[in-house]
Structure formats: structure tokens, C-alpha cells
Chain A
């Protein structure tokens, strides 16, 4: 029914347009399809799809399209999108109605014309005006009120920003960070995992750091050597002596790159404990180097699967 009315309207207006501008449109059809054409209040969006049949080889001159903005005092054009198909151009128009109606009445949305480029010459296509039915929002005579301000809808109070939610988000993220810290702590034998049995060098390096903090002494140096010896023993599961270094490295390939410093360590250890030349040993392999070796061993043991 609505379609038939629109069609009839289009036909009437096409005839009108043809009279006003002979030769325009060349009998090609322009159809306006509205989502609905009644019941618009002030502020409502009015959408319509305008299909313009185009002759072969014609293209739309986009500069001739209406520009979004006010159309009449009661109507704004908010958006226009163009889709070009074979043989037709579809314009999707979004208007906004600002007519405040006292009674239901038809209002005419003005037509416009667009230019088509056909070969070298321009051809004008007229989009006919079409009508929408606007409706009143309130009764004509509302019940009398003492204060006219009582007719108004109330102000909307300004709200507070939702800070509490962000506290919750921060708390959740902090909790997740702590949970994510657990695998790292396990890997490094930190905190609750400090006694992890397969991280002997991580435990040893903590001991060495304590010794370092106490200041370098002869006893401290000897104790550091012992600490590293015990860590090596625990890493291998048996006592490792100077002659066993090569077999130890063969069994534990993660430490393979540390063969030279390990040899130096065993030499210094032999000199200190069996040669009673700990001063010489401290000169050859100072405490600092023991720390470096311990740290390298701790890093390497984390590479073990």
C-alpha cells in the first residue's frame, strides 16, 4: 500500500519534473523507499533509500550530491552513503526531523537533483520530494499546573566516575601478577621454593652473597670453596673431585661452556686445601671470580629440563 502510494507519488512527480525540465531523466526511474513514512516525533531519524536507475556507462557525479547539514528549518540531513551498482545508484539518506507537531500532519522532505556523467556529457536526475507524517508527542491541552516549570522533565544529575571498579581491576591485576610470579620463583628457587633440591647453585649463590656481605676473609674464602663443592656434589648426586670434572661435564651438558672456569676452580681448591697455599689460591682465583662462577652455574642449571 505504502509502496503503491510512493510509486504513485514518484510517477506524479516525475511527470512534474519532466514538465519543468524537458528531457530530464529520459524516462529513467527514480524510486524513494522509506523505512516508514508516518509517526515521526521531533528528533527522530528518517531513513530512506533512493535508487536511481542509470544508463550503461553512466557514473554518478558525487559533487552534485546534497551535503549533510540543515535542509530546511525543521530538517537536517545527517548522513548520506552512496552505493553504485551496475545499472543503478543507491543513496542511503539519514535525515533528522525537528518538526514539533501539534497534530499529525504530512511534511514534505524536499527533493534534489544529482548529476550523472554519461560519456562526455552530464545528465540531471531529479529525486522527487516525498512526505513523512509527523506526530505530536503530548496532548494539545495538558492538565493545568500552577507552576509552568512543572511541565518539564527533570534535570539529569551529574554522576560520579566509577573509581571503585578501577580499584577492583587494579586488585585483580596485582593478584594475577603475584600468581604469574610463582613459576618464575619456582624456576629461580626463590621465596617459598628456596629449598628446591634441583637448584643447588641457586642455594649456593645465596650463601656466597652472605659471605660477601660479611667481608672477604681467609675463612670466608675457604667456606665459599666448600659451598661450591657441596653444590657441585648435589648437582651430580655424588662427590665430584678434580679428576671427575670431565665426566661431570659429559653427564651434565648444560654446564659444558663452563669447563675452563670449573678447571680453574678445582685447581684453586686443591691448592687451598691440600697445598696449604690459600693465599696463592686467593690470588689465582679471587672471591669475586668464585661469585661469577657460582652465578654462571646458577644460570646454567636453569637451562636443565
Chain B
């Protein structure tokens, strides 16, 4: 009888205790996100808040945005790579896309100034980042569009050509001409 009474107490006590714990956890998570948001707002207000590479993805993205705004691209690149380690796909996509835009804008600026050779590496970097972005989200239309813009500045060159198909038949024709006794010409 006593046991049943205690069991009943336990059954009745479990839901409020569990719900209470869940409420505490949700509050803690909300506080955590609010702290993140304060950092993000500070970065958006152009305050140079230090952010480590293992910061939450949303904060890292804001930091990348801040560095891009200040044209500190060499600092932004490692953070984008760090984001690849632990970020959600949409955030990683945005980071690569924004960095690619930054590279391409710098390349376009250099082209406008007539420094064509200096612009080359930045356009190539931009194309690589657009490609990373598209690898993450194949239907990223902004990245597709800007990759098209970048590709009209510097086109991809095949690193190697495959040797089947047309190339192979051309070789075979040349071989034929060297073989003696092949009938050629009219009667």
C-alpha cells in the first residue's frame, strides 16, 4: 500500500520535473543565442569583436561579413574554412558565396584600374568559392549567376584532354596514310 502511494507520487511528479528541466534547458539555450545575437549586432555595427574559429556558425558568418566589409579577405578565408567544419549547410553556402563575391569585386576593381595580371588570382579564387558554394547547394542561383560573371573574365582551361572519340579517329587516319599498299585514287 505504501509502495503504491509512493509509485503514484513518482508518476505524478515525473511530468512537472521533466517539463521544468526542459524549460530550464530552453531558457539556457535562449540566453546563449541572445549572447550570440549581441556579438552579431556588434559586428554589424562595425565593432571589431574578436571571434574564435570554434564560435557558433551564425557568429562566424557575421564575423566573415565584417571582415569582408573591411576588405580583410585573408582573415576571412580561414574562418570560412573553419565554418566548413561545424556549420549548417545554408550558413556555409552563404559564407562561401559572400567570400566569392568579395574576391570577384576586388578582381573587378583591379581590372578597372588596368591591373589585369593582378586581378587574375582573385577571379580564380572567386570561381573556386562559387564552386564550393554550388557543391553545397546546387540550386544556389545567385552563385550560378555570379559564377557566370566570373567565368566570362577568365575561362576554365581543361587540365587534360581525353583521347577517345574524335582525337582517336584523327590519329587512326594518320596511321592509315602511312601504311603502304593502301588503295587510293581512281582506277
Contacts and interface: CB of A to CB of B under 8 A. Distances in A.
A297 B51 CA distance: 60
A120 to B, nearest CB: 30
A252 to B, nearest CB: 10
B20 A184 contact: no
A157 interface: yes
B1 A100 contact: no
Interface residues of A, number: 64
Contact of B37 (A99, A163, A302): A163
16 contacts: A76-B135, A99-B156, A108-B162, A149-B105, A149-B109, A152-B146, A153-B146, A166-B27, A170-B30, A173-B19, A174-B19, A188-B9, A253-B1, A254-B1, A254-B5, A300-B1
Contact of B2 (A76, A154, A300): A300
A161 B134 contact: no
B85 interface: no
Interface in B87-111: 94, 97-98, 101-102, 104-105, 108-109, 111
B78 interface: no
B148 A158 contact: no
A42 B148 contact: yes
A152 B98 CA distance: 11
Interface of A: 41-45, 72-74, 76, 96, 98-100, 102, 108, 110-111, 129, 136-138, 147-149, 151-163, 166-167, 169-171, 173-174, 176-178, 180-181, 183-184, 187-188, 253-257, 296, 299-303
B65 to A, nearest CB: 5
A151 B107 CA distance: 13
Contacts of B34: 163
B5 A155 contact: no
Contact of A302 (B5, B101, B135): B5
A263 B187 CA distance: 137
A162 B58 CA distance: 10
B36 A161 contact: yes
Going nearest first, the 10 A-B pairs with the smallest beta carbon separation are A303-B5, A43-B134, A166-B30, A173-B23, A177-B19, A170-B26, A100-B151, A163-B33, A180-B15, A153-B142
Contacts of A73: 156-160
B2 A303 contact: yes
A199 to B, nearest CB: 12
Contacts of A156: 94, 97-98, 142
Give the residue among B6, B149, B156 with the most A Cβ atoms within 10 A. B149
A96 B135 contact: yes
Contacts of A303: 1-2, 4-5, 8
Nearest to B139: A43
B40 A183 contact: no
Nearest to A182: B16
Interface in B39-71: 40-41, 43-44, 56, 58, 61-62, 64-65, 68
A110 B160 CA distance: 13
B146 A158 contact: no
Contacts of A299: 2, 5-6
B145 A137 contact: yes
Contacts of B145: 137-138, 152-153
Contact of B58 (A111, A153, A155, A161): A161
Interface string B3-34: 01110110011011001101100110110011
B165 interface: yes
B74 interface: no
For A73, A154, A170, A255, which residue has the most chain B Cβ atoms within 10 angstroms? A170
User: Of A74, A76, A99, A302, which is in contact with the most chain B CB atoms at under 10 Å from its CB?
Assistant: A302
Contact of A184 (B12, B40, B105): B12
